Amino acid sequence: MTAYNVAVIVGSLRKEAFSLRIANALAKLAPPSLKLDIVTLHGLSFFNQDLEANPPADWVAFRDRIRPVDAVLFVTPEYNRSVPGVLKNAIDVGSRPYGQSVFNGKPGGVISNSPGAIGGFGANHHLRQSLMFLNIAVLQQPEAYAGGVGDAFDDKGELTKESLRGFLDNYMTAFAAWVAQQKK
């Protein structure tokens, strides 16, 4: 069986971020066909095209980490009905310079989350818009809006909410099939 390498990009910097907790849960739920690498965005400096001639080391490291993977999975909270600035910045860093995007042609997925009921719907759709432009083949179904995540984890960050576990398990099964289909 082929194992595909997947970068799981976490769209939050908060130490106890629900997105990071979900990413860690996904690593445990992933089928054997997926090898997940959780990528946090701590230390990734702001994109500034003026620096592209001699890009900062953190940009180079981020690009080098994403370039070889087979797929990307974004796990993000919603800020003001959109994606957090840190995630948009990572997309900008990885997609430049023009014509050299590390995301180009990769299969991808989006899991948005919120303590509220609608699970980051706005962030999910804003992110999908950017990913389509970057030529990421985004899994369309099932959509993944994880609502009510505020009580889904214990004090050690372990997923305890069985309904969310089942949802994420089903999503990862579909995502694994999507990646395999796209990589044929």
pLDDT digits (tens, 9 = 90+) for 72-89: 999 999 999 999 999 999
Instruction: Supply 56's token pair.
Output: 């900062």
Neighbour count for residue 94 (Cβ, 10 Å)? 24
pLDDT tens, position by position, 99-121: 999 999 999 999 999 999 999 99
Map out the domains of the chain with their CATH numbers.
Answer: 4-182 (3.40.50.360)
How far is Cα 89 from Cα 1, in angstroms, rounded to an integer? 35
Contact between 79 and 115 under an 8 Å Cβ cutoff? The reply is: no
- With tokens 């940009």, the residue in question is 59
- Distance from chain centroid for Cα 109: 7
* Amino acid, single-letter form, for residue 47: F
Q: Is 157 left (phi over 0), alpha (psi -120 to 50) or beta?
A: left
How far is Cα 56 from Cα 58, in angstroms, rounded to an integer? 5
Q: How confident is the model at residue 2 (pLDDT cuts 50, 70, 90)?
A: confident
Full-model pTM: 0.97
